[in-house]
Amino acid sequence: MGWAVGDGRQINAWNDPWLSTSRLAKPMGPQPEHSSELKVADLLCSETQEWNMAKINQEFPFNAEAILSIKPSKLGAPDKLFWLHTKDGVYTTKTGYAAAVEFRDEQEEDKPLKHLNSNKGVWSLKTAPKVQLLLWKTLRGALPVGEALLHQHINIDPLCKRCGELESITHLLFKCDFADKVWEETPLVRRFDRRGLIDLEATWMGLIENPCLPPVGIVDGQLAPWIIWAIWTARNNLIFNNKICSPKDVITKAIVAAKEWLNAQNKEGSKAKIPRAQITVPSHSSIIQTDAAWNDATKNSGIGWIIKQTGETLSFQGSAKLVSSPLVAEALAMHEAVKKSKELGLQQVIFQSDSAQLIKALNSMVEPTELYGIVADIRISCLHFEFSTFCWIPREKNSEDDRLAKQALCIVSGGTTT
């Protein structure tokens, strides 16, 4: 759990080693009875997903600042368990043993899907994190398709751009003629009935684990998740860029991406890094450079980013309060830059930062606990781009952003910078 979304777990700051309260001081004295049932969701405003100041001040007056410095996901990132005794939140037996001595063991309850273990069906699949996120959103009914936007009263054409039927998730990914043709021609071992598909969760494992036929060459991973990803990408391309592609194009794109990712895993061992040499960068990509300045005393941060497109450079500035570390400040800068790029309708984007730690977090499966909500939102936002990548650049190449960030910090701090 990452203080990420309105989540069903209780806040057991008193005895729970799995809670992401790494910077929260242990409360003193016994746990008040009325707060024993308190959940993270109770501290968030249900509409905005922002922290509820009044409630925090009432329940955790001494930890308010530490809680407010945790930046929860606003785009509905899944809850995630963090092990408090390591920096990246990943469990190790050594720290587990130490904690077991110190804490009593408490059973964790995951928030399950109705018919499906989301760990098995999504998170432990051998596929890219961006694909896992997409699958998770698909299963949760959280993809922003026409039907969902209609329910949210968002004024947008809710119909499928290909056939004119209401665009639901199952329509888009399986039932639409276009999707049907994609699945029909995808080289999978088992046929499955797409038109009759009613309960996606119930049929999920059979669909996702459907092995790929030789000679495609995807042996130790699955192709189906990448097909879903490619159908989604093709849909966005059609809506936002008027780009038309055939079912064959979708399948090719899925196979290429799947093989590229699997090859990278085999080369890099278990770490999910994308080797730079393997990425084919589209020639018209916009370059976005971000930077942040942070003041340890005030916990204020100034952020700056520039967007370089053919012939023009746009500069932006912003600020954030209650920022717990320079790394969080860098991540917030990146998040703002990603949001702005999406707003400007950019499609091919290269994001650069001089924070090696941030770039590493964005390119791997595991991020430091304090970045979870922000990095998850960045990944979700990046699903909108046709192409996006994150690269590290040396500090001297980032001087313009550095200046913007420091200037922004100066404004927010009333004149002091670090």
Chain residues binding Zn ion by CB under 5 A are: 160, 162-163, 176
Residue that the structure tokens 């049929």 belong to: 203
Residue whose CB is less far from Zn ion, 179 or 322:
179
Q: Which helix (H) or strand (E) holds 131?
A: helix 129-139
Residue 161 CB, nearest approach to Zn ion (Å)? 8
Residue whose CB is less far from Zn ion, 53 or 166:
166
Residue whose CB is less far from Zn ion, 183 or 385:
183
Residue 142 CB, nearest approach to Zn ion (Å)? 20
Calpha distance 347→355 (Å, rounded): 24
Residues 6 or more apart whose Cβ sits within 8 Å of residue 385: 341, 342, 346, 347, 348, 349
CB atoms within 10 A of CB 198: 8
Residue 231 CB, nearest approach to Zn ion (Å)? 11
Cis preceding-peptide flag for 215 (omega within 30 of 0): yes
Residue 179 CB, nearest approach to Zn ion (Å)? 7
Residue whose CB is less far from Zn ion, 160 or 208:
160
Query: What order of strands is seen across the sheet that includes strand 312-320?
Result: 312-320, 301-309, 286-294, 348-353, 387-392
Q: Are 217 and 223 in contact (CB under 8 A)?
A: no
Tokens of residue 172, six digits: 């888009």
Residue whose CB is less far from Zn ion, 175 or 253:
175
Residues 6 or more apart whose Cβ sits within 8 Å of residue 36: 10
Residue whose CB is less far from Zn ion, 50 or 157:
157
Tokens of residue 274, six digits: 């994308």
Residue 92 CB, nearest approach to Zn ion (Å)? 48
Residue 202 CB, nearest approach to Zn ion (Å)? 23
